[in-house]
């Protein structure tokens, strides 16, 4: 992800101009660890004047992933029940907010010390996945499961969908939807009880980014920053160390020195 200022635009660009403050997802293989990045217009959106670059840089991938999972693939309807695994994480904490705003009954899994944070996001129930079997804690079936957990201890039988994905079938209603962000081959999994399984990977989309930013502007959505690190070799190392060793809430940001 990235956020910054447009320096130059091509002749066919229509909705951006030099000087615009933008956020987006790099569409090249080089990523965003650079002073300058070439981007496609559809992968960017203009951010509000009062939005910081740090907040904007943390939003595109998690925002698009949650938005497209819930609305494009999940086709949320008010009053449905949804289970969101890893509700305190990057995608999870955005998905909890969006689902609640859409009128869902939201159940989330998270470590115990993140429960208050997830409840403040709007979750109706929070389950500590380290001590509780979520399949036994959920009192009635859910319409949708959003799975972001690829279990490292998955057996050979679970290798394609993960243990969490497999167990999620048991809490879904007949004809429900299992949306996975981690199991690329879940689409090939045999259909069970009419449950639709779908792997989702965020796609750059200007209109979706605009919708997400509108929710932020209306204070219906907020991205949580768990750490901000300088754009140096040491800063990058510390940022990766934070992601790998500390169960985090929200997103880690790399900040380029201004000027």
Q: Please indicate whether residue 33 or residue 155 has the higher confidence score (pLDDT).
A: 33
Q: Please indicate whether residue 153 or residue 20 has the higher confidence score (pLDDT).
A: 20
Average of per-residue pLDDT across 71-92: 96
- pLDDT at position 181 is 94
| 173 pLDDT higher than 90 | yes
- pLDDT at position 137 is 98
C-alpha 43/C-alpha 132 separation (Å) is: 40
Least confident of 20-29, 71-80, 184-193: 184-193
Percent of the chain with pLDDT over 70: 92
pLDDT interval class at 212 (50, 70, 90): very high
Q: Report pLDDT digits (tens) over 34-50.
A: 889 999 999 999 999 99
Mean pLDDT, the chain, as a whole number? 90
Domain positions in the chain: 2-59+206-255, 61-199
- pLDDT at position 248 is 61
Considering the four listed CATH numbers 3.40.50.2000, 3.30.70.580, 3.90.180.10, 3.30.70.100, the one that applies to the domain covering 2-59+206-255 is 3.90.180.10
Residue 144 tokens read as 């949708």
Q: Report pLDDT digits (tens) over 174-209.
A: 999 999 998 887 877 778 899 999 999 999 999 999
Kindly provide the b/e burial profile for residues 78-88, where b requires at least 16 CB atoms within 10 angstroms of the residue's own CB.
Answer: eebbbbbbbbb
pLDDT interval class at 62 (50, 70, 90): very high
What CATH number labels 61-199? 3.40.50.720
Q: What is the pTM of this model?
A: 0.89
pLDDT interval class at 251 (50, 70, 90): confident
Domains 2-59+206-255 and 61-199 share a fold: no
Average of per-residue pLDDT across 210-222: 96
- pLDDT at position 16 is 97
C-alpha 206/C-alpha 40 separation (Å) is: 10
pLDDT interval class at 30 (50, 70, 90): low
- pLDDT at position 259 is 44
């Amino acid at each position: 992800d990235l956020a910054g200022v447009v320096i130059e635009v091509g002749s066919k660009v229509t909705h951006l101009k030099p000087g615009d403050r933008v956020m987006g997802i790099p569409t090249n293989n080089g990523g965003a660890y650079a002073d300058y990045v070439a981007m496609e217009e559809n992968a960017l959106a203009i951010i509000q004047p009062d939005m910081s670059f740090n907040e904007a840089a943390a939003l595109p991938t998690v925002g698009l992933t949650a938005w497209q999972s819930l609305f494009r693939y999940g086709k949320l309807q008010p009053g449905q029940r949804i289970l969101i695994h890893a509700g305190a994480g990057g995608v999870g904490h955005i998905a909890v907010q969006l689902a609640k705003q859409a009128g869902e009954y939201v159940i989330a899994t998270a470590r115990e010390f993140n429960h208050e944070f997830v409840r403040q996001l709007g979750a109706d129930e929070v389950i500590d996945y380290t001590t509780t079997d979520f399949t036994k804690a959920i009192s009635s079936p859910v319409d949708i499961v959003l799975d972001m957990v690829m279990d490292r201890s998955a057996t050979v039988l679970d290798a394609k969908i993960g243990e969490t994905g497999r167990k999620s079938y048991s809490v879904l209603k007949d004809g429900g939807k299992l949306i996975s962000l981690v199991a690329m081959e879940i689409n090939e999994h045999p259909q069970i009880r009419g449950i639709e399984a779908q792997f989702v990977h965020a796609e750059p989309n200007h209109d979706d980014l605009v919708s997400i930013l509108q929710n932020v502007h209306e204070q219906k959505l907020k991205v949580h920053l768990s750490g901000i690190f300088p754009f140096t070799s040491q800063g990058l190392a510390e940022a990766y160390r934070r992601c790998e060793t500390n169960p985090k809430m929200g997103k880690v940001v790399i900040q380029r020195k201004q000027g």
